[in-house]
Amino acid sequence: MIRHSVKTSESWKNLPWKKFRKDLFRLQRRVFKAVQAGDKRKARFLQKLILKSIAARFLSIRQVSQLNAGKKTAGIDGVKSLDFTARFELETLLKESANNWKHQGLREIPIPKKDGTTRMLKIPTVYSYCTLIQ
């Protein structure tokens, strides 16, 4: 279990990121092998295991809140960036709702095209994007 101290920024930085990447990659490799072997039941079980994995949760939050180019773009929930405490709160929220996840709305922004028409850019919420990355 990961404990949070008063200095949550330090506890976020000191998480075992290399171990998380290794664990998640191992699970993804197992899913790939199950699909290649044609064992759909095992692949589905392993996918659910990834959704419940602490490594997948923390890596998805890190990807959305720190590494993505659109990390400062707000979704329909209005959240632009997450501080360290909000990242830990999002992790507990993802942990609690791993079994009964429902998609939230998308923010739609019209983008003009060269030919005069517009296309809709749909931006998910931070919570939805984290669950999609897992």
Predicted model pTM: 0.61
Q: So what's the pLDDT on residue 27? A: 93
The token pair that represents 1 in the structure block: 């279990």
* Overall average pLDDT of the 16-42 stretch: 93
Dihedral (C-alpha) 75, 77, 82, 84: value to the nearest 10 degrees? -150
Domain parsing of the chain, residue ranges: 16-133
**pLDDT for 58-100, tens place per residue?**
888 888 777 665 666 655 455 666 777 777 777 777 777 666 6
pLDDT confidence band for 1 (50 / 70 / 90): very low
Is residue 28 within 8 Å of residue 46, measured between CB atoms? no
